[in-house]
Amino acid sequence: MFGQNHLLIVALVSLFLGGAIGMFLNGQTKKGIISIVVTIGLVIVGFLTFGLGFLALAAFEIVAKVDAIIIANKLQNGIPVGPDQWF
């Protein structure tokens, strides 16, 4: 189901466009949607708190990107992954 370049594609897309897109590419649609909602919420909080929410957004995006890459690696190696599984 996932080709040999799946990990590379997910890594590049996640790093440049956001971890949520990598989650979608991994087939974790629900997790991707939740990630987008959290990102939008943290952007709003960032504006309301004069930038403090952007620190939380940066931390969340790092976690989302790393998660998408680790899940892509598992999928590429044939390891089963649940639809809502993290790392």
Match 């919420």 to its residue by tokens: 41
Residues ≥6 apart with Cβ < 8 Å to 26: 10, 68, 71, 72, 75, 81
| Residue 84 counted as domain residue | no
> Distance between terminal CA atoms of the chain?
20
- Total tally of structural domains belonging to the chain: 1
| Residue 87 counted as domain residue | no
| pLDDT tens readout for residues 56-80 | 999 999 999 999 999 999 999 999 9
| pLDDT tens readout for residues 21-64 | 999 999 999 999 999 999 999 999 999 998 889 999 999 999 99
| Residue 13 counted as domain residue | yes
CA distance 60 to 56: 6
Inter-axis angle of helices 52-76 and 6-17, to 10 degrees?
170
pTM of the model: 0.89
| Residue 85 counted as domain residue | no
